[in-house]
Chains A and B, each alone.
Chain A
Amino acid sequence: MSSTDQQPTRPAPPAGLRALVERRTSRDLAGRLFSATATGAGALILVTLAAVAVFLVVRAWPAMTTPAEELADAISWIPEGTTLLGYVGPLVFGTLLAAVLALALAVPVATGIALFISHYAPRRLASPLGYVVDLLAAIPSVIYGLWGGLWLAPRLLPAWQWLADNLGFIPLFREPASTPPRVIMTVGVVLAVMILPIITAVAREVFLQTPRLHEEAALALGATRWEMVRMAVIPFGRSGLISAAMLGLGRALGETMAVFMILSPGFTYSFELLQAGQHQTIAANIANQFAEANPLGVSALIATGLALFVITLAVNTAARWVVARRKDFSGAN
């Protein structure tokens, strides 16, 4: 029976077809249910984000609207004559400095390890190593922070002294290096250790996705293994690598305990990486002051939290922009 025959009167479809129609409505229901769930989940994340933003602004409001003199009077750890912005500024600087140091140290190492596992290690070694890295990435970073802070950090002193002695003419490494090394450079190293596994795990996964076709294209042109990696693997994994770095950066920005345990705090805009008492990060500062803060003090701390929130959003947006800028060349099409 052709469909045109049915058009005028629309008789009930024959049994076989009816089954199809019923099945279709039940599938419609499942489809609607799925789309509603997915939309709901998507909305939930936006609502959560908005709720956090609103909470931060509302709770930070008292501190933001109190005149500077009153603020300094009411909060013992804000020095006389410092505005809220003047208080948050060095913290933002310290947070970014620590995170950038950590990324600068961790990303090259993580990329190297990931490339070794994905393209250099013999296969019998590569898959166990891959598992190990995934396992390491699953361990909370505070564990690495404990090891880094208690064991590694004291042993970094000779390295910092060497840097100060030999490269002291560069302002970054101005001598003498502080003893004990409760300095931002040590924090950078420990944070790098903490974020290394997660960056490595994601980068390895990304490099493994390189299409065999592109690798063979490079090899057939007479590329050595390293040239093949440079031509096909790294460009292909570039956006994934940026995502991995952002994941690490997020952890480094918010890390509290390691910084709290290591860094001797200070509130300056100083690039002297080997000097103690110069820097502090937002997260560690909140942990440090929160317990003894009065209501206005809590509000000021939340204002620093708001700054951290904004930094994270800004950094991630910037990373997205970098990735999107070369979208046509990503190989996704």
Chain B
Amino acid sequence: MAQRIDLKDLNVYYGSFLAVADVSMTIEPRSVTAFIGPSGCGKSTLLRTLNRMHEVIPGARVEGKVEMDGVDLYGSDVDAVAVRRQIGMVFQRPNPFPTMSIAENVLAGVRLNNRRIGKDEASELVEKSLQGANLWNEVKDRLDRPGSSLSGGQQQRLCIARAIAVKPQVLLMDEPCSALDPISTLAIEDLMDQLKKDYTIVIVTHNMQQAARVSDRTGFFNIAGTGKPGKLIEMDDTRTMFSTPSEQATEDYISGRFG
């Protein structure tokens, strides 16, 4: 179910502006990979190229290769919509559909696949996905209430349930805890630890402690200055990155000397 992703010489553009330059890396299956770095260094942009959400913005484009299991996601015969069904995403701010109930939110992606799923199968999937997102016990009595009636942390876990309900290969998380309180953050971090048994997880975070806590590998991004492209400075096992990084800039950043 989980697959590895290889990035090869990836350049990411907004129109003519080069936002991220020359990234090559490997994202291992069944592990958590964290992207850290100062604001504007392109880590969220890079994350959004992995499921082709980057190109949703007018003028945005990519050069280079993103290969999942050897298939180039930007190949001419690959459909962006199909890519997004394989690679789920959780956003910075919780975004359940306000016009749908909790259960409908979980099923939103499944229904897209045109699968006419039966009532029993649907409720089973809702329960399994919500349990997978550690939310079942809190919402099982109000599945028909609107998704927006939940707290921020619950909404974010609902979004995770919605993402895993379609059984993606990879789960991308763009600062999933930055709008949440510490308790909800802890709940999501615990969840990531469980989810990595089945999924490849990539998380962008501003919180270095979080990267240190949850990830197996960490990539550090930086920019030379405003208007310059972001670059991958260093990528290694998280333990190595936070103890003996090989680049001075990494050490400066994780020890809080800038950023």
A interface residues, Cβ below 8 angstroms from B: 123, 211, 213-214, 216-224, 227, 231-232, 235-236, 238, 326, 328-333
Indicate if the CB atoms of B98 and A330 lie closer than 8 Å: yes
Complex-state Cα separation, A216 to B98, whole angstroms: 14
Can you show 26 pairs from A to B with CB atoms below 8 A apart? A214-B95, A217-B91, A219-B53, A220-B163, A221-B85, A221-B109, A222-B82, A222-B83, A222-B109, A222-B166, A223-B112, A231-B97, A232-B97, A235-B99, A236-B98, A236-B99, A326-B99, A328-B146, A329-B98, A329-B99, A331-B98, A332-B98, A333-B98, A333-B146, A333-B148, A333-B149
**A231 to nearest B CB, angstroms?**
6
Residue interface bits B160-187, CB-to-A below 8 A is 1, else 0: 0011001000000000000000000000
- Which residues in B have their C-beta under 8 angstroms from that of A326? 99
Of the candidates A222, A328, A333, which one forms a contact with B81 in the assembled complex, judged by CB atoms under 8 Å apart?
A: A222
- Which residues in B have their C-beta under 8 angstroms from that of A218? 97, 108
Indicate if the CB atoms of A331 and B148 lie closer than 8 Å: yes
Complex-state Cα separation, A213 to B83, whole angstroms: 19
Enumerate B81-140 residues with CB–CB distance to A below 8 Å: 81-86, 88-89, 91, 93, 95-101, 108-109, 112-113
- Which residues in A have their C-beta under 8 angstroms from that of B100? 235, 329
Indicate if the CB atoms of B81 and A223 lie closer than 8 Å: yes
- Which residues in A have their C-beta under 8 angstroms from that of B112? 221-223, 227, 231
Indicate if the CB atoms of A217 and B84 lie closer than 8 Å: no
**A215 to nearest B CB, angstroms?**
8
Indicate if the CB atoms of B89 and A220 lie closer than 8 Å: yes
Is B56 located at the chain interface by the 8 A CB criterion? yes
Complex-state Cα separation, A231 to B82, whole angstroms: 17
B interface residues, Cβ below 8 angstroms from A: 51, 53, 56, 58, 81-86, 88-89, 91, 93, 95-101, 108-109, 112-113, 145-146, 148-149, 159, 162-163, 166
Complex-state Cα separation, A235 to B98, whole angstroms: 9
Indicate if the CB atoms of B159 and A217 lie closer than 8 Å: yes
- Which residues in A have their C-beta under 8 angstroms from that of B149? 328, 333
Question: What residue of chain A has the Cβ atom nearest to residue B94's Cβ?
Answer: A213
Chain B interface secondary structure, helix, strand, loop or mixed? mixed
Known A220-B53, A221-B108, A221-B112: A238·B84 in contact at CB below 8 Å: no
Query: Known pairs A221-B163, A222-B86. 20 more at Cβ < 8 A?
Result: A214-B95, A219-B56, A220-B53, A220-B88, A220-B91, A221-B84, A221-B109, A222-B81, A222-B112, A222-B113, A222-B166, A223-B84, A231-B108, A231-B112, A235-B97, A238-B99, A328-B145, A329-B101, A330-B98, A331-B148
Indicate if the CB atoms of A214 and B58 lie closer than 8 Å: no
- Which residues in A have their C-beta under 8 angstroms from that of B101? 329
Question: What residue of chain B has the Cβ atom nearest to residue A227's Cβ?
Answer: B112
Chain A interface secondary structure, helix, strand, loop or mixed? helix
Complex-state Cα separation, A93 to B84, whole angstroms: 52
Complex-state Cα separation, A216 to B56, whole angstroms: 8
Q: Which of A219, A223, A326, A329 has its CB near the most chain B CB atoms (within 10 A)?
A: A329
- Which residues in B have their C-beta under 8 angstroms from that of A219? 53, 56, 84
Indicate if the CB atoms of B98 and A214 lie closer than 8 Å: yes
Question: What residue of chain A has the Cβ atom nearest to residue B83's Cβ?
Answer: A222
- Which residues in A have their C-beta under 8 angstroms from that of B162? 221
**A27 to nearest B CB, angstroms?**
35
Known A216-B53, A216-B91: A221·B98 in contact at CB below 8 Å: no
Q: Which of A217, A222, A223 has its CB near the most chain B CB atoms (within 10 A)?
A: A222
The 8 closest A-B CB pairs, nearest first, are: A331-B98, A222-B85, A235-B99, A221-B109, A220-B89, A213-B95, A222-B84, A217-B95
- Which residues in A have their C-beta under 8 angstroms from that of B89? 220
- Which residues in B have their C-beta under 8 angstroms from that of A214? 95, 97-98
- Which residues in A have their C-beta under 8 angstroms from that of B146? 328-329, 333
Complex-state Cα separation, A224 to B96, whole angstroms: 18
Indicate if the CB atoms of A213 and B99 lie closer than 8 Å: no
**B204 to nearest A CB, angstroms?**
14
- Which residues in A have their C-beta under 8 angstroms from that of B82? 222
- Which residues in B have their C-beta under 8 angstroms from that of A123? 58
Of the candidates A221, A227, A328, A333, which one forms a contact with B166 in the assembled complex, judged by CB atoms under 8 Å apart?
A: A221
- Which residues in A have their C-beta under 8 angstroms from that of B159? 217
**A236 to nearest B CB, angstroms?**
6
**B140 to nearest A CB, angstroms?**
19
- Which residues in A have their C-beta under 8 angstroms from that of B56? 216, 219
Complex-state Cα separation, A329 to B97, whole angstroms: 9
Complex-state Cα separation, A211 to B82, whole angstroms: 24
